[in-house]
Every structure is written in structure tokens, then in C-alpha cells.
Amino acid sequence: MRRLPLALSALTLMLSGCSMPMTGASVSPTSTATPTPSPSATPTTAPTPTLVNGRITVSNLDDNGAAVVAGILYPPSGGACGANGKYDSCPVTDGLAQRLDSNPVAGAEPLCRCQNTYQSRIITTESLPPGNPGAIAHVVLDFGGSTVTLDVTVIRSAGGWFASDTSCTGQDPGTTSIYSVMPPACGA
């Protein structure tokens, strides 16, 4: 029987060192692990195209640069960039600007290869093969009953994204390139 009072005394001493949180007694903080911040996906906004030395430049930091370039070249309202006959201010390479300025498509605006203003456009892109920095922008221009389909090669360089060539979608790029001797219309 002597063990029972001894056990109760020990239990009383142990419990007196504790306090119940609900009674308002102070509770010493327990150590907890400090949470490690986890990286969060913070959306970053691509820089807006800017005018550099008189030319619209799309930042090479913009992963959608090919679509942005194609959207500038072929705005939704119709009327291609440079429709005034000069392409030096468009986001194109010097070589493409010179070729377009030479008006290589007889009787048509050389960037869209068309004679009329399109009503709408659709742009999709696909990456160039590995090792080639850039993409192909597939552009479909709708004239309300007829379409023009173009592939725009857009390169990604240290200076930004720039269109370097146009050709007819689904046709031989060598013979339909804007650099060919007589670039054809790309109508369907």
C-alpha cells in the first residue's frame, strides 16, 4: 500500500510542472521547425516590344516572341506592317527588309503576298529543330472566302526576335521563299 501514495505524490509533482492551455496559464513555446520557403511560380511578364534604332524589336526574353513578331507583321485589323512600301521599321532582319522593299511579288504587297486587305488572321507557332534558335509562325489570312497561308521564319538572337523569311505553308520553302527569283502568291 505504501507504493500507491508514493506513486500519487510523484504524479502530483509531475503534473504541477505542467499547465493546461485552456486555463489561461502560460505555456512555454515548444520548438517547431521553421518552414522552408518553397519556390513559387511567379508569372513574369514579357517585355513589351520597343523601338530600337527605328525598328520594332521584340525582346529575346519573350518565349512567345515568334507569335508576337507575326502579330506585329500581320495585325488583326488587316494591312501588313510596312504596307506603305518600307519595311525597315518592322521586326525583320535587314536582309528581309531589303528584299521586301524591292517589291519582289508583282502586283501584290510582298509581306502578305496579297492585293486586298484581309479581314482576320490566325497565328500558330512551332519551334525550329534543336540547335536552331527560333520558330516558324504559321499565319492564315482570311479574306472572307479565300485565304493566304504563310510560314514566317522567326529567329531568336541576342538582339531580339526578328522575321528572316516568308514562304507558302505546305509548299516547298525553297521555291516559295520571298528570296526566290519569282515568289508566288500563297493563296488557297
pLDDT of 61 reads 93
Choice among 103-107, 161-165, 181-185 with the minimum mean pLDDT = 103-107
pTM over the 0.85 mark: no
Q: Average pLDDT over the chain, rounded to whole? A: 81
Mean pLDDT of 33-53: 67
Which single residue is written with the C-alpha cell 488587316? Answer: 78
Confidence of residue 95 (pLDDT cuts 50, 70, 90): very high
Tell me, what amino acid is at 66? A
Confidence of residue 85 (pLDDT cuts 50, 70, 90): confident
Topology given in CATH for the domain delimited by 50-176? Nuclear Transport Factor 2; Chain: A, (3.10.450)
**Domains of the chain by residue range:** 50-176
First to last CA, the chain: 106
> What's the sign of the alpha-carbon dihedral 121, 124, 127, 133?
positive
How many Cβ atoms sit within 10 Å of the Cβ of residue 128?
15
pLDDT digits (tens, 9 = 90+) for 114-124: 988 999 999 99
Distance CA 172, CA 105 (A): 17
pLDDT digits (tens, 9 = 90+) for 159-171: 999 999 999 999 9
Distance CA 160, CA 140 (A): 24
